[in-house]
Structure 1
Amino acid sequence: MKEITSFSTMLKNLSIPSNGITLNNFLHELGQRGILVGLAFLTVPFLFGVSIPGTSTPFGILIALVSWQLLLQRPVSIPRRFGNIQLAPAAIEKVKNKILPWIMRMERKIKPRWEFVFTSSFLRQCHIGIMMVSGVLLTAPVPVPLTNSFPAYAVLFLSLGTLERDGLLVLAGHTFFVISILYFGLIGWVGTEGITTLWASIF
């Protein structure tokens, strides 16, 4: 059986030209499993406080768009305006250095388990559908803490869980999606000012 390359190894081996790389070429560099790895990478600006300038909203749209194509079982095609986004090597290195230690620690606990999560085509479609909706949530212009983080963790855990065949990690992705929906519902109920005041009182 061919050994599956881990997410952290893919990131370590990623070679970025000195003049930068387009998003299309970046996904191509990630190889055969590049789509799911790419989805995981696109969540980074929402998770770790590091960003690639001008990419936050496009990344959310791309997560939703790519997931939609996967849901319809179509070949993934990135619109030219997004695929031609130029990623600076310094920015990518900054992101890699930030997330690699965290990813490597997490990978020590990741293992194939709960295979039933992947055997049903209905469940697989549910995983992809949740990533799509989470991508839409990432584009929502809500100036409240954690509105980006919760759906980003949902996408990260669902994509990595699928890559590593870890059903428990996929369940964690579903959990963060439910938290996202409840959190956005709470914001709709009490308003952004109410949530901001709540966070200010806690911190």
Structure 2
Amino acid sequence: MGGSMADTVGQSHRQRLVWLSMLAMPLLFPVALPGMASAVGAFCLFIALGLCLGQPVPLPRWLAQRELNGRAVTVLKRAVDRVVGVVARLGRPRMLALSNRPARVANGVMLSLAGLSMMVPVPIISFDNVLPALAIVLISWGLRLRDGLMLLTGHLVTLAALASVALLWWGGARLATEMISRVAQFLPW
């Protein structure tokens, strides 16, 4: 970990995937953190674009040059060490065909779909980011550890996240339409 964001986030996909998973983990709990889902979703799209292109996309200059203070670096290092210790025990290289170079674009697309499903605002519901966050964590660590089982699970969770967001939007639209029609019955027009 360096002093700037560019040094800390790193220039390789493997380093960036660790940070993406670390950012997504707090969203696994159904609590509302305003703006967090959009930021994680945008970073997810950024990394997914790099995966699809085959090379990491440089951070924007304004973000790359941002300095981290010593206390933040210490806290981040401790958190990363703790998470890596736990995840390394769970994952291992297996089903390598899913994490090989030919599957890179498919993994990038699934990661971008997970990021997009996280960025879509779902009104009223506070647990709408749990599935996309889980998908991002599984895909990130699956790619990082070359664990095809984690990747496959992440892809399935991504599909479930997309379906849940679509269902929540459909249900919300139906509810809003029903409420508007009931209120309109009482209006004197």
Query: TM-score, normalising length from structure 2?
Result: 0.71
- Answer with 1 or 2: which has the greater Rg: 2
Distance 1:87 1:147, change over 3 A: farther
Give the aligned partner of residue 53 of structure 2. 72
Distance 1:141 1:154, change over 3 A: same
- Alpha-carbon shift at residue 57 of structure 1 (Å): 2.8
Mapped to 1, the partners of 2:142 and 2:61 lie a distance apart of 29
- Aligned residue among 108, 115, 131 for 2:111: 131
- Alpha-carbon shift at residue 61 of structure 1 (Å): 1.0
Give the aligned partner of residue 60 of structure 1. 41
Amino acid at match of 1:33: R
Gaps of 5+ in 2: 176-189
**Structure of higher RCO (CA pairs closer than 8 Å, 6+ residues apart):** 2
- Alpha-carbon shift at residue 166 of structure 1 (Å): 0.9
Question: What is the percentage of aligned positions where both structures have the same residue?
Answer: 26
Gaps of 5+ in 1: 1-13, 195-203
Give the aligned partner of residue 7 of structure 1. none
Distance 1:44 1:184, change over 3 A: same
Mapped to 2, the partners of 1:151 and 1:180 lie a distance apart of 5
- Alpha-carbon shift at residue 32 of structure 1 (Å): 7.7
Q: Greater helix percent: which structure?
A: 2
Q: Is the 8 A contact 2:18 2:140 kept in 1?
A: yes
- Alpha-carbon shift at residue 157 of structure 1 (Å): 1.0
Let me know the Cα RMSD of the aligned residues: 3.5
1:33 partner SS: helix
Distance 1:50 1:26, change over 3 A: farther
Distance 1:182 1:31, change over 3 A: closer
Give the aligned partner of residue 27 of structure 2. 46
Structure 1 residue 160 and structure 2 residue 141: aligned?
yes
2:90 partner SS: coil
Query: TM-score, normalising length from structure 1?
Result: 0.67
1:147 partner SS: coil
- Alpha-carbon shift at residue 94 of structure 1 (Å): 5.7
Q: Is the 8 A contact 2:95 2:149 kept in 1?
A: yes
1:148-176 CA-partner distances (Å, limit 9, x unpaired):
22112112111111111111111111121
Mapped to 1, the partners of 2:82 and 2:29 lie a distance apart of 12
